Structure 1
């Protein structure tokens, strides 16, 4: 349906944001459910749904749902309706991906970089990498829904800026969103990598756990918290920074943040590698630690067990304050399995009050590469398909269709707004 053929067609699309959001978020996946959840008349729902289907944004899938009578066709977002661009900024690599709305990877690449390159050069490198991904993939599918960046640093999510000291030297309070919007002209979201890992684990593996603590134990240590089904970020993005809670002792080790006795300085991958080097082993990072554990090196196993108890000690305090129903432990050191997990469980159950621990479950995250990248994709999609995001998205599509010679608001095979 050519959207610009009539004002009513364009109006039907731009007014369909509520219908689109209900379908995209899974709150209503049939025509009858749309009628019930939207409170709109059957004629209005049909008109707006037809506009979304004509724009190739929504499709009636072949699978059906049991309805007690005749089968009901399922409404779903057309996976070719759009794409997202995401980047996980690590300590030495940039992992970029072009993703579909599931989110699922369409294309990806890894680039080397150094924090010393600075934010401006790094953001330009990411933008160039995104353009190459789009070019190699033929432009992606449909419209660019948005861009997401994952950073290994505390992030003020509302402003999209790194806050406070971190390993991202030179990034503190730098505008990240502005330059990326200049490159691509779409919504941009920035968050801490552990929050994004938490989001992914919750949405994909533990959706029933509306109060969940995720602990990432890798080169560094951090945590993310799901409270009543939503990421809890705190006032300025500093929540979950358990790696820099300090323990007093006579031999408190120096942390890379400059303080003494931090959890990280005792139990993070870099700290265990440091201690292994003093015993003559070759270990530079968390991956090297796990390699030694997998080789059954007693010293490495002993240190990983000890790290688990340190993490368990601080986790017990978090459990007393937040009372999660589930704790999920992930990150590179989680590959050590029970060598790490047993220590965490021991201290949590030993120190926690029975009310907070009697139904508490502590498990390892399912192994998967770069879940921060998938969490970033999920963040972008969640925002694009939210009620407010759906309004902005459909307005962009209608505007692009009005500017197009064909007047079509269609997928990648027709004229739809692109950001490449």
Structure 2
């Protein structure tokens, strides 16, 4: 787990519930990790003390709440305190890229308990890739001695468009054999728990927001790697759009792209001229050996001036498209990650240059454009957060307890 970034973000718990709090609502109050007595819970919820006791007993029996010890006594019997038990269940999370995957086990706060990175090709198809994820989760559970802990749910990020409501990929350009594949049914059959699937960049946005930038209510996360994608956080919530297709930045028409073919079947797409392979191709055309995003980054880090210029120009092109997003969406923060972003300030400088040149001062006056803080872990942290938000929502908790 070395290098795995995690910041636990508090839950907005102390919202009066006016006597209507269910067991799930009571759990939401306790998810901030602060131990509370029955009297404190009674005061916050407005419930009768006997009702609070009964609902606490239900949560204790399920293992979701544990005894947090006693308050310091001021005379008489000390009051018992109760706290959320984040280890009651585990979450299985994975972020799958074009050529890699990060697989993790987390607790119910989304904090990682075990992590493994895999080299694999998304083009191998859903059966092979998902079997690899399942095998890795089982191996991690054994190695971390978590076999006896029941999974709460599974979260998976995929490198293509996903209809979030069904968890099925939808015409993903780099994922042969995946179109319409029932990922939740395949993985759910292995573990018998809810399986949530989303585009990997949506989950990167969720991961960056939850773990690194919780105070940013409006932000865009951009991934620049083999392809280019983005995720939008609006009013503190992940914005997926009507069918989960929001943020498909890489297939917006890029300025001055001409008729360069894109793997999606269209021409002139942003990723066709500014993605990692496109940058590498432009370098090869100039006699510099480069084939992948990693090759481009290595050249920039080695001080190759042509590679540096190519990456900065790609940043400008990405910035031209993002300037439109800034005008339409007005974020306070843009986070740039992905393999190509490892080239450092060259890419960011180009992005900033174009955005500040093209966008109105009102939109950019408080705008920050920064590198990813969660790095390679953003997607898997977001996958875990997606599952936690679902399985610990009051409605789902109450249904499961019933």
TM-score normalised by the chain length of structure 2: 0.85
Pairing 1:136-285 to 2, within 5 Å after superposition: 136-140=143-147, 142-247=149-254, 249=256, 251-285=258-292
User: Which residue does the alignment assign to 2:342?
Assistant: 335
Shift of 1:50: 3.9
Pairing 1:14-413 to 2, within 5 Å after superposition: 16-24=23-31, 26=32, 30-31=36-37, 34-59=41-66, 61=68, 76-140=83-147, 142-247=149-254, 249=256, 251-366=258-373, 368-395=375-402
The C-alpha deviation readout for 1:390-419, integer Å capped at 9, x for no partner, is 224434xxxxxxxxxxxxxxxxxxxxxxxx
Give the secondary structure class of the aligned counterpart of 1:222.
strand
User: Which residue does the alignment assign to 1:7?
Assistant: none
User: Which residue does the alignment assign to 1:406?
Assistant: none
User: Which residue does the alignment assign to 1:401?
Assistant: none
User: Which residue does the alignment assign to 2:14?
Assistant: none
* 8 Å CA contact retained: 1:283, 1:289: yes
CA distance in structure 1 between the aligned counterparts of 2:358 and 2:113, rounded to whole angstroms: 46
Per chain length, whose mean CA-contact separation is higher, i.e. which structure has more relative contact order (CA < 8 Å, sep 6+)?
1
Shift of 1:361: 1.8
User: Which residue does the alignment assign to 1:409?
Assistant: none
**Alpha-carbon distance change, 27 to 353 in structure 1, aligned in 2, over 3 angstroms:** farther
The C-alpha deviation readout for 1:40-72, integer Å capped at 9, x for no partner, is 2233223322442454322355799xxxxxxx9
* 8 Å CA contact retained: 1:83, 1:140: no
Give the secondary structure class of the aligned counterpart of 1:149.
strand
Detail structure 1 runs of 4+ shifted over 4 Å in the superposition: 60-64, 72-75
CA distance in structure 2 between the aligned counterparts of 1:291 and 1:103, rounded to whole angstroms: 33
Shift of 1:36: 4.7
Shift of 1:95: 2.8
CA distance in structure 1 between the aligned counterparts of 2:230 and 2:279, rounded to whole angstroms: 19
**Alpha-carbon distance change, 38 to 137 in structure 1, aligned in 2, over 3 angstroms:** same
Shift of 1:28: 7.8
Structure 2, unpaired ranges of 5+: 1-21, 72-78
* 8 Å CA contact retained: 1:212, 1:225: yes
Shift of 1:389: 2.4
Give the secondary structure class of the aligned counterpart of 1:380.
helix
* 8 Å CA contact retained: 1:98, 1:140: no
User: Which residue does the alignment assign to 2:17?
Assistant: none
Give the secondary structure class of the aligned counterpart of 1:370.
helix
The C-alpha deviation readout for 1:13-60, integer Å capped at 9, x for no partner, is xx6222113322x39863466335533223322332244245432235
Give the secondary structure class of the aligned counterpart of 1:261.
coil
The C-alpha deviation readout for 1:289-308, integer Å capped at 9, x for no partner, is 11111111101110111011
CA distance in structure 2 between the aligned counterparts of 1:250 and 1:93, rounded to whole angstroms: 29
Structure 1, unpaired ranges of 5+: 1-14, 65-71, 396-420
